[in-house]
Amino acid sequence: MHLRIDGDTRLLVLTGAGVSAESGVPTFRDASGLWENHPVEKVATLEGFEADPRLVWRFYSERRRRAKNVHPNAGHAALADAESRMGDRFLLVTQNVDGLHRRAGSIRLVEMHGSLFETSCTGCRREAFPDDGEYLADPPRCEECASRGRVGLLRPAVVWFGEVLDPMRMHRVSSFIDESRGARLVFLAVGTSGLVYPAAGMVLQARAAGAEAWLVNAEPPENLRAFHHFVRGPSGKVLPPLFEWS
Ligand code: BJW
């Protein structure tokens, strides 16, 4: 099955953990996925972090270490290639925090759940800053807070359950959809279980604007019925020959 792209097509892509699976990054909910050995409420909520920041930093430090040692795969490359052909008619929204899309060359990119390689402060409003440190002993403290005589615990700059997503990032997605009225809009989801909101609802948001909805996934996900076309298989194999350019 081929997804035809012509000069009037606008392509909105949403990726999840499955797109990085062939690079060796574990998914969350598959067998031996991350949530199997790490209770989600302990490592992916603010409450979990406040209860045991050392445990949470160990979890994210280990993921930083692993992510530094993997490489983008053919699926990431196929999406970067599509962007280089389509320019501003293309937007890639990823739930992944591993940085692999950027390393594959994607630029028109929204990292909706943040980045594994950025850190923010729980005590002050400073912007998230680049950080690839691994903190296995004491959780790191904010120097800016310290300079004002306060204690601010640093945290990974990712979006945990119950936290609100950055409105500026989500605005880019809504704007892309709004600007597609009158054109042919295609929504393509890749490697995501369709369980976590608001990402899982994006297909309906795009369809409300008339989008044709495609899905590439190893298994049928929770929100399968929302899609017009389902191509089952590993994204590193399915994506490179998927697009038909006209
Ligand atoms: C392959 C493959 C291969 C394998 N090729 N495919 C509406 C309804 C119900 C609940 C809610 C709602 N709105 C908000 C909520 C609450 C909550 C939520 O969604 N809960 C549900 C679980 C019920 N959402 C939130 O709290 C969000 N915040 C929010 O909405 O704020 C406003 C609000 C707050 C409170 C109440 C109401 C509103 C925030 C969600 C943040 C999610 N954060 C995480 C952690 C990020 C940092 C980190 O990485 O550690 O994001 S959780 C985790 O799940 C991570 C992922 O990005 C996310 C999605 O997972 P993904 O990517 O789908 O991975 P998997 O493992 O689930 O699936 C992989 C898929 O790939 C599988 O299908 C495989 O088959 C496939 N696959 N290999 C292709 N080679």
In the chain, the N- to C-terminal Cα span, in Å, equals: 15
Would the CB of 129 count as within 6 Å of ligand 1?
A: no
Would the CB of 28 count as within 6 Å of ligand 1?
A: yes
pLDDT of 42 over the 90 cut: yes
- The vertex-35 CA angle with 78 and 94, nearest 5°, equals 30
Q: What is the fold of 3-25+71-113+165-245? A: Rossmann fold (3.40.50)
Report the residue count for the chain.
Answer: 246
The pLDDT of residue 30 is 83
195 CA → ligand 1 middle, Å: 6
pLDDT of 62 over the 90 cut: yes
pLDDT in tens, 6-19: 999 999 999 999 99
Nearest Cα residue to atom 38 of ligand 1: 162
pLDDT in tens, 138-160: 999 999 999 999 999 999 999 99
- The DSSP call for residue 226 is G
Nearest Cα residue to atom 39 of ligand 1: 161
Task: Please count the other Cβ atoms lying within 10 Å of the Cβ belonging to residue 124.
Answer: 12
The pLDDT of residue 63 is 95
Q: Spelled out in words, what is the top-level CATH class assigned to the domain 27-69+114-158?
A: alpha beta
pLDDT of 220 over the 90 cut: yes
- CA–CA separation, 165 vs 113, rounded Å? 7
The pLDDT of residue 33 is 87
- For the chain, the domains span 3-25+71-113+165-245, 27-69+114-158
Q: Which residue reads 């699976």 in tokens?
A: 21
Mean pLDDT value of segment 117-140: 96
Q: What does DSSP say about strands 114-121 and 129-130: parallel, antiparallel, or unpaired?
A: antiparallel
Would the CB of 31 count as within 6 Å of ligand 1?
A: no
Q: Predicted confidence band at 181 (pLDDT cuts at 50, 70, 90)?
A: confident
- CA–CA separation, 20 vs 29, rounded Å? 14
Contacts of 74 (CB under 8 A, 6+ apart): 22, 236, 237, 239, 240
Check: CB of residue 23 under 8 Å from CB of residue 72.
yes
- Two tokens, residue 112: 């909706």
- CA–CA separation, 209 vs 190, rounded Å? 20
* 32-41, 89-98, 167-176, range with the lowest pLDDT: 32-41
- CA–CA separation, 127 vs 114, rounded Å? 12
pLDDT of 31 over the 90 cut: no
Predicted TM-score of the model (pTM): 0.97
- Two tokens, residue 214: 């495609």
Would the CB of 44 count as within 6 Å of ligand 1?
A: yes
The pLDDT of residue 199 is 98
Q: What residues act catalytically?
A: 113
- The DSSP call for residue 21 is H
Q: Predicted confidence band at 32 (pLDDT cuts at 50, 70, 90)?
A: confident
Would the CB of 235 count as within 6 Å of ligand 1?
A: yes
More reliable by pLDDT, 147 or 32? 147
Check: CB of residue 157 under 8 Å from CB of residue 118.
yes
160 CA → ligand 1 middle, Å: 10
166 CA → ligand 1 middle, Å: 15
pLDDT in tens, 66-90: 999 999 999 999 999 999 999 999 9
Nearest Cα residue to atom 5 of ligand 1: 234
Mean pLDDT value of segment 224-238: 98
What atom in ligand 1 is closest to the CA of residue 216? 79
- CA–CA separation, 131 vs 156, rounded Å? 9
Check: CB of residue 2 under 8 Å from CB of residue 188.
no
Mean pLDDT value of segment 38-58: 95
Would the CB of 193 count as within 6 Å of ligand 1?
A: yes
* Test site for ligand 1: of 19, 76, 196, 242, most ligand atoms within 8 A of the Cβ: 196
- Two tokens, residue 148: 């004002």
